[in-house]
Every structure is written in C-alpha cells, then in structure tokens.
Amino acid sequence: MKDKVIFHIDINHCYAQIEEMKQPHLRDVPMAVGGHEEKRHGIILAKNDLAKAAHVMTGESLREAKEKCPDLLIIPPSYDDYIYYTGLVKDIYRQYSDHVEPFGLDEAWIDYTDSRKLYGEPVKTARLIQDRVEKEIGLTVSVGVSWNKAFAKLGSDMKKPRGMTVITRDNYQKLVWPLPAQDLLYVGPATIRKLHARGIMTIGDLAQYPAGVLHHDLGIAGDMIQLFARGEDPSPVAENGASAPIKSVGNSMTLVHDVKSFEEVKPVFWMLCEAVASRARDAGMEGSTVYVSLRSTDLAWAGRQMKLERPTDVSDEIMTAVELLVHMMWHETVPLRAAGVALGSLKEASSFRQLSLFEDAERFEAARRCDLAMDEIRNTYGFDSVRRLCTLNDKKLTDFNVKADHTVHPIGCFQGRKMG
C-alpha cells in the first residue's frame, strides 16, 4: 500500500498578520495581539516579526512583553475578522481535497492522497496553495508535507514565514530526530518534564527509547507520542464538515486584581462554574471529572482534578468539587492571579439520574432549575440581568461575562506544576 500524502498548513503569526493586512502600517512597528491591559486579561496571542525580533513570546503576559519591548503596540483581538479570513483560507484548501481537518483557526491538515490523480505532484500543488492564499487573501502560510499528520505538522513549523518542508521516509531521521522532544505534537510542559527525567531530550531519543516503558509514566499518551516520533501516526484527516466529539468544556481568566483568600475568589469560581455548566448544557453533554487550575502571582500554574460519583451539568455540583480541589491545592500563602475550571469526561446527557441514598434530590432539582432559569433569563435579557448575590461584593473582580468574553480552554491547559 502506498503512503498517504498529508499537508499541514499554518497561517504565519495568524492574528498579527491579519491585523497587518487590515492596517499595513503595523508592519513597520513591533506589534502583538493581546488581551485587555487595564483589566489584566493579558497574554500575547500573536506577534509580528519585529516583536519576535525583540524576543516577545506568544503566551507571556503583556507586562513581560512590554519589559522586553517598551515600544510594543498591543492590538486587541478581533475574533470575528479572524474567523472570517481563516474561513476564506480553508475554502481554498477544500478545493483540493474533501478531507480538510482544521486544527484551531490558523492550522489545518489536508489529505491530498487521492487528489494526486486530479492535481498532480504534491509539492507543486502545495506551492500553488501557498501562492493562491497570498494572492487572493493576502496572507502567507507555511506548509509541511509528509505521509502522516504528526510529521506534516512538524514540517510546517520548521521554516517560517512562507516555508515548506517535505518529510519522507528517507529523510525523517535526519530532519526530525534531532529536534527537541517538545516540538512533537501533544508533548506539553508536564510531559516534557517526565521525558527529561528519563534523559529523553530529542524526538530521536523518544523514538529509540525501549518500547512500552513510557506507558508506566504516561499511560496511553506515552505510547502515542512514541509512535509519532517513529512516524507511525495512523490517524486519518477528518472529512470536510466533520467535527471531533467534545471531550471537555472549560474557562480560564486572569483576575483584575490579586486575591488572598478563598472567600474573596469564590464569586469568580461561581461564575466559572456557571459558564462551564452552561456550555455543557448547550452541547447536550454532562461530565464526571472536574478540573481546577490556579496561577499564583509568581506565574506558577497548579492543576488538580476530581472524579464525580455521576455525570453532571449543574453548576452547584461543579462548585462543590471546585471548593474541595482549591482547598487541597491552595493554602492562601501566595496570592492568586488567575483561575480556571473545566468539566471533562463528557458524555451525552441522560434524561434520568440515578440518585444515591445519601443524595439530597430536592437540592439537586432546585439547583438545576436555577441554572436553567438563569440561562433563559440571560439569553433573553442579557448576562447581567441575573446574578448570584455574592458576585456583587466586588464588582470590579466579577465585571465580566465569562461565557462570552473569556478564554475557553481544553483540559491540557489545566496541567502545570505545583505552587510553592
């Protein structure tokens, strides 16, 4: 059987490039797209080449970025524009294959295997797509070409901007194996610490490590990333219009000021739990694992999770678990700067609920009716039309609509080191 031909295409510094396309003068100044500085909803989402030259990094706080580059211009994100322009780019991709799988707004895999009969040599077509996106939309993209999704993504990251890397069975050990292990798909901070502890520094180290040993430390994820390092990624590119099942819903936010006690931050957690529960209900799902993330003023993240007795989509039940988790993780010795909540292990919501002997059925039904009523009122009259009383104690701290305005995170973002 012949190998597949997979493209991975990445719009270079996507949000920043779209802002430069809209306002060409931004190409002449160090610029980054970031959050609200005054309210501290502030991390760098994307930066242009001049900001990159000043060592501004995606994901760092606006304060850190400004320290590196005092003249840095911060542009607030325009998500409607980003969705619109990246949609136009993907429309071009779909002209060459009926299997185009988005990976965020700015990236996508394309299965070109069967398209060779129509459009010819893969690298030639990949360059044609690059040219069309730049000419028709005004954006540059980088492309990786390989026989599997993991290596195709690596290829698109290797040469930027407007680069192309072809990774084959003949050259992958030379091109891929010397790269740092963290460059591989799904190898995040928590995983890389465990790999480094075993002396695994490069993708080649990972590929050549004894098979099955990593399962002890990382479970199935360890087996998966080792297969990726060896070029054994059998996962298909999803068909156009297909969507992966939702596995978690979550929200995270930076607090407008530091907090030093649970009672002070409790209203924020209530709003996060309401948003997460509402997202689950919108999707017709309920979850049985609650995740909490905290970030202290020294920017250290901590994350912890709890398995519930039964799945839920009720904010009251999520909040009960959150309170237990926060008290396990945080002893109020270090002020908090950010917080997050997620609901995982999602499944389709059931029409009935099996109660235990010790469960207060009336309280559960009252809490669920309260959530549903708040959803209905907010959908009709706006978010601020109904609030829990505790969220009015510190209006500056809770002056946000977490469901509409704040970052939605997958579970992977809730994992980090413990706070001191």
Share in percent of the chain as helix, strand, coil (round to 5): 45, 20, 35
Asked if 69 and 63 touch (Cβ cutoff 8 Å), the reply is no
Contact (Cβ atoms closer than 8 angstroms) between residue 157 and residue 187: no
How far apart CA 311 and CA 288 sit, in angstroms, is: 4
Which residues touch 49 (CB under 8 Å, ≥6 apart)? 13, 161
CB atoms within 10 A of CB 3: 12
Query: How many Cβ atoms sit within 10 Å of the Cβ of residue 339?
Result: 22
Catalytic residue list: 107
Q: Cβ–Cβ contacts within 10 Å for residue 231, how many?
A: 19
Contact of 233 with 227, CB cutoff 8 Å: yes
* φ, ψ at 295 (rounded to 5°): -130, 130
66 and 107 Cβ atoms separated by less than 8 Å: no
**CA–CA dist 283, 226 (Å, integer):** 33
Residues 6 or more apart whose CB falls under 8 angstroms from that of 162 comprise: 12, 130, 134, 140, 141, 142
Bridge-based pairing of strands 164-166 and 141-146 is: parallel
Distance CA 184, CA 174 (A): 15
Residue 109's beta-bridge partner residues? 8, 101
- 3-state secondary structure (DSSP) of residue 141: strand
Beta-sheet pairing, 285-296 with 336-344: antiparallel
Query: What is the spatial distance between Cα 341 and Cα 271, in angstroms, rounded to a whole number?
Result: 10
